[in-house]
């Protein structure tokens, strides 16, 4: 079966640049003009814009919309969802793209599996939390909280141990948060606690729907990455529901992914070993309250290495 042709990158990807402008614009208009009259609608739109921004950060990490890394960073560095410094996500996510190590509890920083020996050292309450987190509803509720706590804990430890790169990432991130918080608190007059729940947490929860089943353990690296063929959230996720296409062609911009998939869906489904869902509703029905994966990795890191 012939591999579909790959997309050639452009110097400036105008659809992505335009979407960045629109995303920030929706967030600003929602807070400044919609919030005073229709607060619930404003919070929904701001949550959607913040989730869209998270997807755009992912695009920037992969070299979009320009070929200039610092410019891509600058275009998305103001973070309405508040968490995840750009440079920290960049470092973590590019390590994740080593497909041969996908799902490894240590070598894949985005893996949700745990090493068996580490799991055995955990208190009972943490094992319960991780088990709940492996259900879809649990991931939507707990995932953003666990991810934030884990990031803050590990990065604080690293900074105290003298990691200057992580320190710089946080200095830049906190500086970029100043205009966000100034808008939310002083201009929009949205209570911070409400913004944290209805925008920051809600947007991260939306992204958790995409990331919940993106990867699973399989013997072949290609079979570890999902296809969710269609979804009303596809645009919000910038078509990363077709995740195997992105992993095989990470330089392709978001708007090229659907065509790459549609050129030969059978090729992609054969490549990833049939790890396929028609839509997210099918995933929700199967795993809303049922753990999709075990907490411990089925094959790797079963015993502590001296």
The pLDDT of residue 3: 58
The pLDDT of residue 306: 46
Tell me the C-alpha distance between 14 and 20, whole Å. Answer: 10
Bin 14: left if φ > 0, else alpha if -120 < ψ < 50, else beta.
Answer: alpha
List the beta bridge partners of residue 296.
Answer: 114
Cis ω before 65 (30° cut-off from 0): yes
Q: What is the pTM of this model?
A: 0.94
The pLDDT of residue 298: 96
Tokens of 113: 């599996």
The pLDDT of residue 154: 97
Neighbours of 29 (CB within 10 A): 15
* Class of residue 176 by CB neighbours under 10 A (exposed 0-12, middle 13-18, buried 19+): middle
Q: What is the pLDDT of residues 167-213, one digit of tens each?
A: 999 999 999 999 999 999 999 999 999 999 999 999 999 999 999 99
The H or E element containing residue 276 is strand 276-277
- Contacts for 300 with CB less than 8 Å, ≥ 6 apart: 103, 104, 105, 113, 115
Q: What is the pLDDT of residues 1-36, one digit of tens each?
A: 455 555 555 689 999 999 999 999 999 999 999 999
Of 84, 92, 47, 23, give the one whose Cα is nearest residue 205. 47
With a cut of 50, which residues of the chain have pLDDT below it? 1, 306
The pLDDT of residue 10: 67
Tell me the C-alpha distance between 214 and 226, whole Å. Answer: 5
């Amino acid at each position: 079966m012939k591999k579909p042709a790959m997309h050639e990158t452009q110097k400036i990807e105008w659809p992505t640049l335009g979407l960045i402008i629109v995303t920030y614009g929706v967030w600003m208009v929602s807070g400044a003009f919609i919030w005073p009259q229709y607060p619930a609608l404003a919070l929904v739109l701001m949550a959607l814009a913040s989730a869209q921004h998270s997807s755009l950060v992912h695009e920037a990490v992969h070299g979009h919309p320009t070929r200039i890394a610092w410019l891509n960073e600058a275009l998305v560095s103001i973070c309405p969802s508040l968490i995840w410094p750009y440079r920290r996500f960049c470092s973590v996510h590019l390590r994740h793209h080593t497909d041969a190590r996908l799902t490894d509890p240590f070598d894949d920083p985005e893996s949700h599996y745990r090493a068996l020996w580490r799991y055995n050292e955990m208190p009972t309450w943490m094992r319960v939390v991780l088990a709940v987190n492996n259900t879809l509803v649990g991931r939507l509720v707990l995932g953003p909280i666990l991810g934030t706590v884990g990031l803050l804990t590990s990065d604080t430890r690293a900074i105290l141990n003298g990691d200057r790169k992580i320190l710089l990432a946080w200095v830049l991130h906190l500086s970029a948060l100043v205009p966000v918080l100034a808008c939310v608190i002083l201009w929009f007059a949205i209570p911070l606690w409400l913004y944290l729940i209805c925008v920051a947490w809600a947007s991260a929860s939306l992204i958790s729907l995409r990331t919940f089943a993106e990867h699973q353990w399989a013997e072949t690296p290609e079979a570890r990455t999902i296809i969710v063929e269609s979804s009303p959230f596809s645009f919000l996720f910038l078509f990363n529901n077709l995740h195997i296409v992105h992993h095989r062609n990470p330089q392709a911009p978001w708007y090229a992914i659907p065509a790459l998939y549609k050129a030969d869906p059978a090729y992609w489904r054969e490549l990833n070993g049939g790890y396929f869902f028609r839509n997210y509703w099918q995933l929700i029905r199967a795993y809303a309250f049922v753990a999709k994966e075990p907490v411990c990795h089925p094959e790797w890191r079963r015993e502590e290495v001296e």
